[in-house]
Amino acid sequence: MVVLSPSADSHASGSATGLEIRPFRALTYRQREAEHLARVSSPAYDLVTPAGRDRLADADPYNIVRLILPQVDSRVAGHDAGPEGGPERRSTEQAAASLRAWEADGVLDRDDERALWLYEMTPPAGAATAGWLGAVALPQPGSGAVLPHEDTYAPAVEGRRALLAATRTDLEPIVLAHDPEPEVAALTRDARQGQATLEVQDTDGVRHRLWRVTEPVVVERLRAALRRTGAVIADGHHRFAAASAHNRMEPGAPGADAVLALVTPMGPGGLRVDPIHRVAPDLDLDAAVRAAARGFQVTELPSPVDALHAAIRRWLEPQERSGFLVTDGTRLVELSAPSAEVLATVPPEAPAAWRGLDVVLAHHGLLGSLWGRADDPESVLIAHSVDEALRTARERTGLALLLRAPSPSDVAAVARAGARMPRKSTLFVPKPRTGLVMRPLAD
């Protein structure tokens, strides 16, 4: 599906209201030692596997995963895990009860003063990414201040909305990529001085450093500079949609008109885009290739047993090429040169920036048309890395569909054309660590 939005023209013409970011009174862990923060923080909820969730929960009784991915537990004090309400509702109520208990017991501290937070992420190799953490106002209808670029899955949006409504807290930030603005860059450079307020290294070796900024002059200069920019949602489409739905359902509720967001620059100093792959469970490679051959050129590639990952990496590298790679973990098959019949499956009313994307052709032409897969989480699984895709394909007796990443300019062009990529099309990295800074809605 492609969605065309009237907001694109207003943003492109410069007439739309820009980003409105507000300082807020943060909720953080009282213990701020790096070792403790590593133990209680987590990746974003949608990157946590069931096994990973168990490992994180076992690492510390106060790990944030117990709030962002709650599970029903009748042992939580004061919580009725009885049958009424259903397990999903009871899990969000449990998360809210746990959050209140952690605050009451002094595990979490609420700041007395509103602040913006400078957030820097430095990978083991490569340049650092820095942005600003704040409460970003949800845009009014017709505004191009914040543009999505991906479709969402309604049940996932409802799950995040229910958690937000129960906890009354933004537990983890979305990520926005904003237009370049020299004043923002200058303020970012100046604020990265002195001792960081919070610092932790994650399991991927990324160092996260945050500075709490309260100086009124700096805060107001930054807010004014960001009002001159618009942004694309880089990560958190479901949480953004959930915040918008919560605001519609409870108009006027304290803090419901904003969402916690990490605002990063587009281009130098900002995020990079990695691909998100697909897995088609219960699908034989030979049958899949026969079906794909009706619409694509099929080329079997050398697949050395001892260097399969290296062969895949080489194939993924050239960003200017198009096509997909299909594998069962043993053989590698390239699909390229889509036929006119495949191209006809792409909605003709969609903008050109959208129609030529690999992920769109894979979604409409291959998965939907030739393989007959419905667009739901059971028919098409999501994998955030090649290793995860290969492992899941083996576990589910299926195939990994490996995609190259779109460029940041491709993503921005799609968003500004008012279109939406298929769900889970882009992986912007590095990602902020969940649990370092939270935002209670009532300020």
Where do the structural domains in the chain lie, given as residue ranges? Answer: 7-272+430-440, 277-402
Contacts of 12 (CB under 8 A, 6+ apart): 144, 416
Cβ atoms 224, 187 nearer than 8 A:
no
Burial of 256 (0-12, 13-18, 19+ CB in 10 A): buried
Phi, psi of 278 (to 5 degrees): -120, 155
| Model pLDDT for residues 293-332, shown as the tens digit of each residue | 999 999 999 888 788 888 998 898 866 678 999 999 999 9
- Whole-angstrom Cα Rg for the chain: 22
Determine the straight-line distance between the first and last CA of the chain, rounded to whole angstroms.
Answer: 38
Calculated CA dihedral for residues 239, 118, 40, 424, nearest 10 degrees = 30
Q: Is the pTM of this model over 0.85?
A: no
Chain segment 31-66, per-residue pLDDT in tens: 999 999 999 999 999 889 899 999 999 999 999 999
Contacts of 87 (CB under 8 A, 6+ apart): 72
Residues 6+ apart with CB under 8 A from 286: none
**Do you find a cis peptide bond into 351, omega within 30 degrees of 0?**
no
- Tell me the percentage of the chain whose pLDDT exceeds 70: 91
pLDDT higher at 270 or 140: 140
Q: Three-state secondary structure along 92-140? A: HHHHHHHHHHHHHCCCEEECCCCEEEEEEEECCCCCCEEEEEEEEECCC
- Residue 46 is given by DSSP the state G
Mean per-residue pLDDT of the chain: 88
